[in-house]
Structure 1
Amino acid sequence: MNYLFVMIGAFWGAIARYGVSLWLGDMTFPMATITVNIIGCFLLGFLLTLVSLSRHDRRIWALTFGTGFLGAFTTFSAFALDALLLTLPMALLYIGISVVVGVIFAGAGVWTARVVYARIRKV
């Protein structure tokens, strides 16, 4: 049954990834890849933090949205290939932005989830 939840999430994640690519179009700098990866960092930090703080079993959410949706939405392989195809100064900029901003956004997702969880518990 877990495979079904991962599959459903992955289907929608791939559709969303493709939509971002269409929306941003072809650019010299790989904005679609960097955009989905940074959004994915925030969402995964947020989701897994909420799941870990919850007293209820939320593995289905983690499987559907973490493994499925965000696994298909974000893409390390495209990041690696994009970096390889850029000129050296642009590749270093791309890698630096992706890693530093990705970690910052993952941390922001964790922090946001903790704030949201604390406010929900007060209600």
Structure 2
Amino acid sequence: MALIYKIFRQDEFTDLEAAGETLGAPVDLADGFIHFSTAEQVAETAGKHFAGEDGLKLLAVNPAPLGDALKWEPSRGGALFPHLYRPLRTSDVLWSRDLPLVDGAHDFSGLIDG
């Protein structure tokens, strides 16, 4: 199973846990959907949108149960990215882990498949 990934700041993750669901981070709210990345895309996403930020959480989600609410749409460089058009629920999240910042870069070692 190929998972998709979401990066949250700690406060965004805390809000998800407290409410049981979220419409996402400010960029998600502005765009009207929740941005995800594949295993191949997530490190670039971290570097582009979270450069140098510590205290991040990496969430893994199985895309299959999301059904028609998940759309694969062109984004960065025309690559297809998964976008969720409904709230993300805690029940959607397979796992969440700290995303360490090592020497100024996010270390995905042992965190993702692919």
Q: Which entry has the higher C-alpha Rg, 1 or 2?
A: 1
Which structure's residues are more often strand, by fraction? Answer: 2
Q: What interval of TM-score do these two structures reach, taking the shorter chain for normalisation? A: under 0.3
